[in-house]
Amino acid sequence: MHPAASVIFFTTASGAGYGLLFLLGIAGAAGLVPASLAFGLVGFTLAFGLITAGLLASTFHLGRPERAWRALSQWRSSWLSREGVAALVTYAPAGLFALGWVVFGEARGIWGVFGLLGSLGAVATVVCTGMIYASLPTIRQWRQPLTIPVYLTIGLYTGALWMALLSAAFGGAASAFLWLAVLAGLSAAGVKALYWRTIDTEAPVTTSGTATGLGSLGRVRLLDAPTTSQNYVMREMGYRVARKHAMKLRAIAAVIGVAVPVLLLLIAAAVGGGAAVVPVFLAALSGSAGAVVERWLFFAEATHVVTTYYGAEAA
């Protein structure tokens, strides 16, 4: 599949935003961080900014972005519609939680309930995002149980990196969030490694034989191409990444996405105090960049069954 920049930005930015919102709701309701104006203002600006920018970017991939609102009416059958509904619903309790934190300086009690509801909405929205892809039977790399855990763990990890930065800069359980980010990063790396192993070793769901119904007669191969020029299907569905490049990009995602941030977080834990802000900030930037590379590969490595009609032997 051809990786669209708008969708990559949408899934990584909103994932980090929802991860941060989830942690703000839990930490605020539990009293793990101070309900100070600075912490709340920067934290919610960052979380809502990432979420909103990501959701707006997702409309750029539509043929008629101005009609994106109509997708909300299909929530009974469409995971894309359910994602939009979940995103809008989440704004309500999360906004009230932010109001209590920033304006009234209180994140517990009834305001904490709104925070927990916002956290629940964040998880639900990310699940819906993952299900947009996991529900497609035409792409085997997405139609599997690990797709949603990948979205959830990477969203939590990138959100934890920014939460660790906030706690280091404005106080709270700074060391706890540093170690949470380390644990979340290692968990995300483990889930993604298992995902890559799965898509590399599992048998193709569709072959040129099963697609044409001629497989019982022997090996089926393309004699003449269905078109003599590049078309939309070939450009969008038949995008290919050379195997050697995919492996290099996987290594890059692992290094800048997890190895470097974890090392920086360990340095921050060792130095402590205000000096920890710089390495944590660099860790958040590196981890976010690694998430972008991972998400690019998520789309680029996907093979659509329609390509079996354009010369691919399997998908």
Report yes or no: 163 and 181 within 8 Å, Cβ to Cβ.
yes
Report yes or no: 39 and 33 within 8 Å, Cβ to Cβ.
yes
Distance CA 26, CA 63 (A): 38
pLDDT at 243: 67
Do the domain assignments include residue 298? yes
**pLDDT per residue over 204-224, tens digit each?**
888 888 877 877 888 877 777
Average pLDDT, integer, range 217-232: 75
pLDDT at 21: 98
Distance CA 258, CA 287 (A): 6
**pLDDT per residue over 151-160, tens digit each?**
999 999 999 9
Is the pLDDT at 65 greater than 70, yes or no? no
pLDDT above 90: percentage of residues in the chain: 70
Distance CA 270, CA 225 (A): 61
For helices 110-134 and 79-102, angle between their N-to-C axes, nearest 10 degrees: 160
Is the pLDDT at 310 greater than 90, yes or no? no
**pLDDT per residue over 121-153, tens digit each?**
999 999 999 999 999 999 999 999 999 999 999
By residue range, what is the domain housing residue 92?
Answer: 5-310
Structural Rg of the chain based on CA atoms: 22
Average pLDDT, integer, range 248-259: 97
pLDDT at 238: 72
Instruction: Give exposure, 141-163, as e/b (b: 16+ Cβ within 10 Å).
Output: bbebebbbbbbbbbbbbbbbbbb
Q: How confident is the model at residue 66 (pLDDT cuts 50, 70, 90)?
A: low
Distance CA 291, CA 9 (A): 10
pLDDT at 109: 94
Is the pLDDT at 281 greater than 80, yes or no? yes
pLDDT at 224: 72
pLDDT at 74: 84
Distance CA 290, CA 295 (A): 9
Least confident of 31-40, 172-181, 217-226, 287-296: 217-226
Using alpha carbons only, give the angle 250, 252, 254 rounded to the nearest 5 degrees.
Answer: 70
Mean pLDDT of the residues in the chain: 91
Is the pLDDT at 272 greater than 90, yes or no? no
Distances (CA, A) of 197 to 28, 47, 141, 203: 38, 32, 11, 12
Do the domain assignments include residue 126? yes
pLDDT at 295: 97
pLDDT at 28: 96
Burial of 197 (0-12, 13-18, 19+ CB in 10 A): exposed
Is the pLDDT at 63 greater than 70, yes or no? no
pLDDT at 230: 74
Do the domain assignments include residue 99? yes
Q: What is the pTM of this model?
A: 0.92
Q: Amino acid letter at 40?
A: G
Q: Bigger pLDDT: 58 or 298?
A: 298
Report yes or no: 211 and 304 within 8 Å, Cβ to Cβ.
no
Do the domain assignments include residue 315? no
State the CATH number of the domain containing residue 99. Answer: 1.20.1630.10
Total number of domains constituting the chain: 1
The most distant pair of C-alpha atoms in the chain lies apart, rounded to whole Å, by 74
In the 3-class helix/strand/coil scheme, how is 257-301 assigned residue by residue? HHHHHHHHHHHHHHHCHHHHHHHHHHHHHHHHHHHHHHHHHHHHC
